[in-house]
Structure 1
Amino acid sequence: MLAIPEIATQIIDKTLANVKENNSRTIFLVGSKSVGKTTLIHSFLEKSDPPRETLVVEYSFGRKSNQKQGIDKILSHIWEYGGKLETLNNVLESTPIRGKYFLCVMIDLCKIKNIWETLETCFQTIKKVYSAPETLPELIIICGKYDIFKNYDSEVKKVVCTTLRSFALLNHAHLLFYSSKEPQLLRRAKDMLFNIAFGNGIPIKEKNTNYTKPLSIPKDSDSWESIGVTPSTIEQVKIRHTSRIPPITVSSDTNTAGGVQKHAHPEVALDSLIDLKYNELRNMESLDISIDYLLSINK
């Protein structure tokens, strides 16, 4: 059975057989879970239906008349990945690319202990899939939920912003703070998407490097001196960040009344519900099958 990206590839190839390459754009969004990727896409495309959770891959498109080319239209293909980041490489490798290619990594500013892991996982995968410099897409780091992050402790905001600026500088990425609940930031993010989808690139006009305000920094326009740290490698940036904001350590095992049960799902909430169901089964007087046997099946 064909995967969603493969089916989409066939449809796109058939539909766009005669469309010029310079009239196509590809935008791919990936990053933190529940950061607002779908909300941003719906807002940009002006969709009226409420956003729903993206389980794996979603495809949308936008079309705009090209005034210079008469009846020709610019077609923008928008991909959104909501699955586990560990399998991102499989999706990127099978995603059809048409025309200019922009890859947006969205970071949840509210989950500060997950920021480094998300950045590192996404960018390692991107560099692995697009190993040749000429195939590397234009990279954009969009940091969502600024409406909550702006109320964090000043020192925490400074550390996070220093890390994000350093990471963007090392990876030649644009950096933009965003919130769907603040009209000015929403409009700025929509303008950016409009320009990469139908315009000539990413015109970030309102540059800001002050960590007390939402960051907005075009690629290669920042400097170590402006950031306030010595020139660093990616490993040095990681050490500096994790020493101040330790990442979440998740144990692979959890103790239960019946022994040790391995996590079977990526979401802690699902494991908790399963543990609760197992406890209910243990308390059923009419259950004849050994609960230990049932547990062994799930291992």
Structure 2
Amino acid sequence: MSIPELASELVKKTLSEQNDRSMSTIIIAGSKNVGKSSLINAFLDKNDNPRETLVMEYSFGRKSSQKPGIDKMICHVWEYGGKIEMLSDVLLSIPIRGSFFFCIMLDLSKIKKIWNTLESCIQALQNNFSNADSALEIIIVGGYYDQFKNFDTEVKKIVCTTLRSVALLCNAHLLFYSKKDTHLARKAKDLFYGMGFGNGVLLKEKNTNYLKPIMIPRGSDNWENIGVSPCNLDEIKKRYTAKIASDPIIKSDYSQDIQRTHPEPILDTLASLKYEELRCMESFEPSIKDYLFCVNK
């Protein structure tokens, strides 16, 4: 039985035994290698060594419930590690049960990649869910704060102002995180525990000072405090990219690298085949709809 089929059977079994009041769904997507798997493992108290998430990983947690009439609480966790521009197809295919939380995790140490990742995630949400959907809570987590805190003061101000603006616009929670900082790691774990088994996102602390780790519950910020006039997503993008240019998406053209300088023609042929194989591997992306088709049966 394949991994998608196993996940499908597991989800079907748990869904047949539970109702929506006893379940929650967390989807986490964002930057590559930012620590999504590590954060999930910490939340679920797993000691496994994280491995690269190629397309989609499913995990779940189960806890005894204190709510009347509910024996167990089940949290479904979906981690997306594929191409960010295909996220819309993923959201169409994932079964949402109970309370729904979407976590966008950004690598603060790669400021030129922040906007493209953030914008892609927000567009995927807008394409699939209504802005009036009160069941959805959005959490923006800035990872690698241990590196970001050493950046130039002006850069930190620009990044923090941008993320605060987007969080306010999307009615999202905003939290900076580093697994190397015990306090921040505990806050992130507690946040996930509240989503999975508690009463939702609980951020008791608040900090808007960009010289310290940002922590802002949704609904507690405003444009005046951020220091900018009310604006839409395009205006926020223009302000950010005017000061921090985003990295262009570059695709390698292996055909340009082929140099026929081998003394034996057979080596040229083998090199061409290898370059073609690499080119195909780079462009290959399994269909998300096919990959998760069994989940929606």
Cα 1:202/1:132, change in 2 over 3 Å: closer
Task: Note if 1:284 corresponds to 2:262.
Answer: yes
SS of 1:30's equivalent? strand
AA aligned opposite 1:157: K
Size of the alignment, in residue pairs?
277
AA aligned opposite 1:218: P
Q: Which residue of 1 aligns with 2:144?
A: 145
Q: CA shift at 1:230, angstroms? A: 1.1
Structure 2: distance between partners of 1:118 and 1:83: 12
Q: Which residue of 1 aligns with 2:118?
A: 119
Q: Tell whether the 8 Å contact from 1:102 to 1:139 is kept in structure 2 after alignment.
A: yes
Q: Tell whether the 8 Å contact from 1:127 to 1:136 is kept in structure 2 after alignment.
A: no
Structure 2: distance between partners of 1:52 and 1:2: 18
AA aligned opposite 2:61: G
Q: CA shift at 1:196, angstroms? A: 0.7
Cα 1:235/1:3, change in 2 over 3 Å: farther
Q: Which residue of 1 aligns with 2:195?
A: 196
Structure 2: distance between partners of 1:51 and 1:95: 22
Superposed CA RMSD in Å reads 2.4
Q: CA shift at 1:252, angstroms? A: 4.5
Counterparts of residues 61-72 of structure 1 (less than 5 Å): 61-69=60-68, 72=71
Cα 1:69/1:123, change in 2 over 3 Å: same
Structure 2: distance between partners of 1:77 and 1:170: 27
Q: Which structure has more RCO (C-alpha within 8 Å, separation ≥ 6)?
A: 2
Q: Which residue of 2 aligns with 1:269?
A: none
Structure 2: distance between partners of 1:92 and 1:16: 18
Of 30-39 and 228-237, more deviation after overlay is shown by 228-237
Identity of aligned residues (%): 51
AA aligned opposite 1:287: P
Q: Tell whether the 8 Å contact from 1:9 to 1:96 is kept in structure 2 after alignment.
A: no
Task: Note if 1:168 corresponds to 2:153.
Answer: no
SS of 1:118's equivalent? helix
Gaps of 5+ in 2: 281-297
Q: Tell whether the 8 Å contact from 2:24 to 2:76 is kept in structure 1 after alignment.
A: yes
Q: CA shift at 1:8, angstroms? A: 2.8
Q: Which residue of 1 aligns with 2:17?
A: 18
Q: Tell whether the 8 Å contact from 2:34 to 2:144 is kept in structure 1 after alignment.
A: yes
Structure 1: distance between partners of 2:27 and 2:13: 21
Of 180-189 and 125-134, more deviation after overlay is shown by 125-134
Structure 2: distance between partners of 1:129 and 1:98: 15
Gaps of 5+ in 1: 262-274
Report the TM-score when normalising by structure 1: 0.85
Q: Tell whether the 8 Å contact from 1:26 to 1:100 is kept in structure 2 after alignment.
A: yes
AA aligned opposite 2:77: I
Structure 1: distance between partners of 2:174 and 2:70: 35
SS of 2:159's equivalent? helix
Cα 1:201/1:293, change in 2 over 3 Å: closer
Q: CA shift at 1:12, angstroms? A: 1.5
Question: Which string of whole-angstrom CA distances, capped at 9 and with x for unpartnered residues, describes residues 210-235 of structure 1?
Answer: 00000000112111100011111211
Structure 2: distance between partners of 1:108 and 1:156: 14
Q: Which residue of 2 aligns with 1:98?
A: 97
Q: CA shift at 1:91, angstroms? A: 1.3
Q: CA shift at 1:69, angstroms? A: 3.5
